[in-house]
Amino acid sequence: MKPLTDDPAAEAAGEDLNRSYEAMAHLIAVVQELSHARDLDTVQAIVRRAARALTGADGATFVLRQGDLCYYADEDAIAPLWKGKRFPMATCVSGWAMLNRQPAVIEDIYADRRVPADAYRPTFVQSLVMVPIRAAAPIGAIGNYWARRHRATSGEIKLLQALADSASIALENVALYRELTERVEELKEANRLKSQFLSNVSHELRTPLNAILGYTELLIDGTYGRLKTDQRTPLEGVQRNAGDLLRLINDVLDLTRIEAGKIEIRTEKIDLVTLLQEIFIDIQPILDQKSLALWLDIPEGLPVIESDTAKVRQILANLLSNAAKFTDQGKVMVSAEEIPHRPGVEIAIRDTGIGIPKEALPKIFERFHQVDGSATREFGGVGLGLSIVKELVGLLGGEIRVESEVGNGSTFTLFLPCR
């Protein structure tokens, strides 16, 4: 086949151009690979392979600066060089490149005073080039070695320097990633200790509180003698406040269990109609106390779901109690329906209460969040209930959303999957 050109110079130039394109494509691939490196060993492995491949050298080395020493951390060569060894900065070529912040190009290692010739005699090296990693304040160097006399071209030096610059960024990323990882671990440990502390304190508080509630109930029931009229009211106050405190402690315990991943899911068949009727009986005293009406729209044919009864009860009881707590007059409405386009049941709990400002809606499921700490202080609580509801709903594979308007009440819509 006849060549495309009879000009040897043009043909050689074309070959050089092709090699340049190939080298650049290889360099781009290496840069992308370095961007995903998360530890020093990975960076070293990528760089030592790439440094040799980009220039066709017989060996490559990756050097790190350690104070006044050059540490030859890794290498890829036809024969052993100095991997794992350390040399003073002033006595090796990598040290010269770092101290002078420029490449060292040496065609004959035995004719250049920067080279400790005796150290090189046992090796295959005849020529080398060494470039610093990071120009402003070098933290290392990358070296290429040839077993024959070779003077590195400007193109080879540029490729090697570009690799060194990319390695510098990768090393900074590794250091940042390590710092962030250590910080995350510290935060995890701090969070674990906090959860453990809260759990231990909560357990210790529950014992005396249960005793207080038990003795108070016995006193109110007249077990220790008939009460006078003026004695019953303060005892009922003790009972009410101790109950509130016990519920708060139970919320903290639930929260610590969720954070620790110690919540177990016990799946069983649940008749939601029956469960809702039981919860209505429990919250009826709260509704009666405020003269609130309860409107129900629950079809008899509601499907049975498979979930954790205790947790579903806790979710619904919390939402209904909240609806009653934040409604001074009007009604609480509960509706339920099967969702045709997805296997599950949707339960909506509406109230005619104080409502929630639009800007506060995205935060109401956050822990310890109070919509208005001053205005709602009369309602009590520390902002754990809805956070626990959100966590439990997620554990059960469900969803919850809220719509509200100040002065016009709120609607919490809960979706529970059939399984």
Q: Give 347-401 pLDDT, tens digit per residue.
A: 898 988 888 888 888 888 876 655 554 444 454 554 677 888 888 888 888 888 8
**How far is 337 from 392, CA to CA, in rounded Å?**
21
Pick the CATH number of 268-417 from 3.40.50.1100, 3.10.520.10, 3.40.50.720, 3.30.565.10: 3.30.565.10
At 174, which amino acid appears?
Answer: V
Spatial contact of 202 and 183, defined as CB atoms under 8 Å apart: no
Q: From residue 97, how far is each of 103, 138, 142, 155, 403 by CA, in Å? A: 6, 9, 10, 18, 66
**How far is 363 from 30, CA to CA, in rounded Å?**
44
Q: Which residues pair with 75 in a beta bridge?
A: 61
In sequence order, the 6+-apart residues with CB closer than 8 A to the CB of 370 are 376, 381, 382, 383
* Total count of residues recorded for the chain: 419
**How far is 385 from 371, CA to CA, in rounded Å?**
13
**How far is 117 from 112, CA to CA, in rounded Å?**
9
Query: Per CATH, which fold does 18-262 belong to?
Result: Beta-Lactamase (3.30.450)
Burial class (CB in 10 A: 0-12, 13-18, 19+), 373: exposed
In sequence order, the 6+-apart residues with CB closer than 8 A to the CB of 45 are 74
- By C-alpha distance, which of 284, 215, 209 is closest to 241? 209
**How far is 20 from 155, CA to CA, in rounded Å?**
8
Q: At what angle do helices 8-35 and 154-220 cross, to 10 degrees?
A: 20
Determine the pLDDT at residue 324: 86
Place of tokens 């453990």: 196
Determine the pLDDT at residue 78: 95
CATH 3.30.565.10 residue spans of the chain: 268-417
CATH 3.30.450.40 residue spans of the chain: 18-262
Residue 59: Cβ within 10 Å count: 23
Spatial contact of 149 and 67, defined as CB atoms under 8 Å apart: no
- By C-alpha distance, which of 80, 108, 79 is closest to 93? 108
In the chain the first and final C-alpha atoms are separated, in Å, by 72
Spatial contact of 366 and 387, defined as CB atoms under 8 Å apart: yes
Q: Give me the residues of the chain with pLDDT under 50, please.
A: 1-2, 4, 12-13, 373-377, 379, 382
Angle at 326 between CA 323 and CA 327, to 5 degrees: 80
Angle at 398 between CA 394 and CA 403, to 5 degrees: 95
3-state secondary structure of 130: strand
